[in-house]
């Protein structure tokens, strides 16, 4: 007998205690289990829906713990409690039922003493008047709990977009991820993939990019279909697909990708180059590069050379175009990776910005005169985007990115002006139904 709540709590414990994302943790926990696809989908939904609301769920649990802190509890126990609170406060499960099933699991896994603790906590949780408790808080905390975001993000989004739009962004961040499909024209035509998907019950909508479709509905997840395994299409967000088009690679050119794994953009660039010329794909993660190599093979990409190296230092020289899609805060990807919301670390954030700038400087070193750098992130912050372009503009000329999808950049943030706001492009989940992305284009002159 499989208890969805128990497996979901185990996956959430992995997310809690490692750096794995929900998807990676699900894969790790479920890979050797023979689960019916409906049970699998249910575990998946429990994990995402609970993780998404972690701040408010923990707020409720903390009110009920009496003298203990939630982080003092065993990770599995605390995640079982989270699942129970999610069920009774957000999923509409009758509180007595939610409590009963969690207490049974706790009894089997931890014994009588912990079962009576879980029982007491969940019985109290049932009576927490969430709306009333939230109403007592200041504006930022209120918005943070109402829309399931950390307080620092609420402040950032308000300063960036104004209150009304910040709320829209947070609401969109809580919606289900929209899936986009990019046809891999190295292996199949756009028309054949469209027909194949429609024949397999996938309803598609066109996007401004001819090789990219939005998935409107499906009977079976597109990623589980044979043509996905055969590399005839990939799952890639619309905003991410814009990047290769902005780079505008020509067949025969020498391209450098300084942070390339898992290789979605590099494989798209290879497709636009019709496999002619060379893409030097650098990444400093051996594991990610290994997976990237396998993916390139699957996609029929033949002009990518994967190099394990530090993208802030690697030198190839005389390169026509460079892509810098560096590690970032991923603040544009909360829909896809809710755990990212709760992992922000100021020190790491500042370090990441240093890496981004070093990659921009290294791109300059590697480019030939007149060469192009495309700098993109899946972050919505000003520091990682506009401010880095301002830094790059000391030695690069900022070129215009056409807003095929997206809006212009931020003009002013917390007293800082950005004069190139009308040359860069941003996408937002609430405006474009895709990941929050930033794309800029710079020329070495
Ligand atoms: C945003 S991801 C890149 C995604 C990739 N461009 C794609 O489209 O699939 C950032 C990557 O940077 C890599 N990375 C982090 N620090 C690096 C460094 N100093 N040098 C090279 N790669 C680095 C990470 O391993 C990660 O794979």
Task: Among 19, 243, 245, 260, name the best residue to mutate to test ligand 1's pocket (greatest count of ligand atoms within 8 A of Cβ).
Answer: 260
Residue 37: its pLDDT value, please? Answer: 79
Q: pLDDT tens digits for 289-300?
A: 999 999 999 999
pTM of the predicted protein model = 0.95
Find where tokens 């497709």 sit: 271
The whole-number average pLDDT for the span 356-380 is: 98
Could you tell me the distance, in angstroms and rounded to a whole number, from the CA of residue 118 to the centre of ligand 1? Answer: 42
Q: Is residue 157 over pLDDT 70?
A: yes
Q: pLDDT tens digits for 256-283?
A: 999 999 999 999 999 999 999 999 999 9
Could you tell me the distance, in angstroms and rounded to a whole number, from the CA of residue 259 to the centre of ligand 1? Answer: 4
Q: Is residue 408 over pLDDT 80?
A: yes
Which residues have a Cβ under 8 Å from the Cβ of 419 and sit 6 or more positions away? Answer: 390
Residue 38: its pLDDT value, please? Answer: 84
Determine which residue's CA is closest to atom 19 belonging to ligand 1. Answer: 310
Average pLDDT, the chain: 97
The whole-number average pLDDT for the span 35-42 is: 86
The whole-number average pLDDT for the span 148-169 is: 98
Residue 156: its pLDDT value, please? Answer: 97
Q: pLDDT tens digits for 61-103?
A: 999 998 889 999 999 999 999 999 999 999 999 999 999 999 9
* Residues annotated as catalytic (active site), given as ranges: 378
Confidence of residue 1 (pLDDT cuts 50, 70, 90): low
- What atom of ligand 1 comes closest to residue 282's alpha carbon? 21
SS (H, E, C) 215-250: EEECCCCHHHCHHHHCCCEEECCHHHHHHHHHHCCC
Q: Is residue 2 over pLDDT 80?
A: no
Q: pLDDT tens digits for 188-239?
A: 999 999 999 999 999 999 999 999 999 999 998 899 999 999 999 999 999 9
Determine contact, residues 86/50, Cβ cutoff 8 Å: yes
Confidence of residue 367 (pLDDT cuts 50, 70, 90): very high
Cα 255-307-360 angle, rounded to 5 deg: 55
- What atom of ligand 1 comes closest to residue 378's alpha carbon? 1
Residue 39: its pLDDT value, please? Answer: 87
Nearest of 372, 388, 167 to residue 256 by alpha carbon: 372
Q: pLDDT tens digits for 170-191?
A: 999 999 999 999 999 999 999 9
């Amino acid at each position: 007998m499989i208890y969805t709540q128990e497996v979901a709590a185990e996956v959430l414990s992995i997310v809690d205690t490692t750096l794995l994302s929900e998807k990676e943790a699900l894969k790790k926990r479920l890979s050797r289990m023979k689960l019916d696809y409906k049970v699998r989908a249910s575990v998946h939904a429990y994990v995402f829906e609970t993780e998404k609301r972690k701040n408010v769920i923990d707020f409720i649990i903390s009110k009920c713990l009496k003298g203990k802190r939630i982080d003092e509890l065993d990770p599995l126990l605390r995640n079982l409690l989270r699942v129970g609170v999610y069920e009774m406060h957000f999923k509409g499960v009758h509180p007595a039922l939610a409590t009963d099933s969690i207490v049974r699991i706790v009894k089997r896994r931890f014994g009588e003493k912990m079962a009576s603790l879980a029982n007491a906590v969940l019985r109290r949780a049932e009576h927490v008047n969430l709306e009333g408790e939230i109403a007592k808080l200041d504006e930022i905390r209120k918005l943070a709990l109402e829309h399931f975001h950390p307080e620092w993000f609420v402040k950032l989004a308000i300063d960036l977009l104004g209150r009304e739009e910040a709320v829209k962004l947070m609401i969109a961040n809580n919606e289900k991820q929209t899936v986009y499909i990019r046809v891999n024209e190295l292996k199949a035509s756009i028309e054949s993939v469209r027909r194949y998907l429609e024949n397999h019950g996938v309803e598609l909508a066109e996007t401004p990019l001819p090789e990219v479709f939005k998935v409107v509905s499906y009977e079976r997840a597109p990623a589980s279909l044979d043509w996905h395994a055969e590399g005839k299409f990939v799952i890639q967000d619309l905003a991410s697909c814009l990047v290769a088009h902005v780079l505008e690679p020509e067949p025969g050119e020498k391209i450098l990708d300084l942070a390339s794994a898992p290789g979605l953009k590099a494989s798209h660039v290879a497709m636009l180059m019709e496999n002619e010329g060379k893409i030097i794909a650098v990444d400093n993660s051996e594991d990610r590069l290994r997976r990237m190599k396998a993916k390139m093979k699957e996609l029929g990409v033949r002009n990518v050379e994967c190099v394990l190296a530090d993208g802030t230092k690697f030198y190839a020289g005389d390169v026509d175009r460079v892509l810098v899609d560096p590690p970032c805060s991923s603040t544009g990807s909360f829909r896809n990776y809710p755990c990212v919301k709760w992992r922000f670390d100021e020190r790491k954030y500042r370090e990441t910005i240093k890496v981004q700038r070093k990659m921009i400087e290294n791109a300059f070193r590697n480019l030939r005169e007149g060469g192009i750098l495309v700098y993109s992130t899946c972050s919505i912050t000003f520091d990682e985007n506009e401010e880095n372009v301002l830094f790059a503009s000391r030695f690069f000329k900022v070129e215009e990115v056409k807003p095929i999808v997206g809006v212009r950049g931020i003009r002013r943030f917390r007293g800082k002006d950005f004069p190139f706001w009308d040359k860069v492009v941003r996408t937002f989940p609430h405006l474009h139904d895709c990941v929050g992305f930033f794309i800029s284009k710079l020329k070495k002159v």
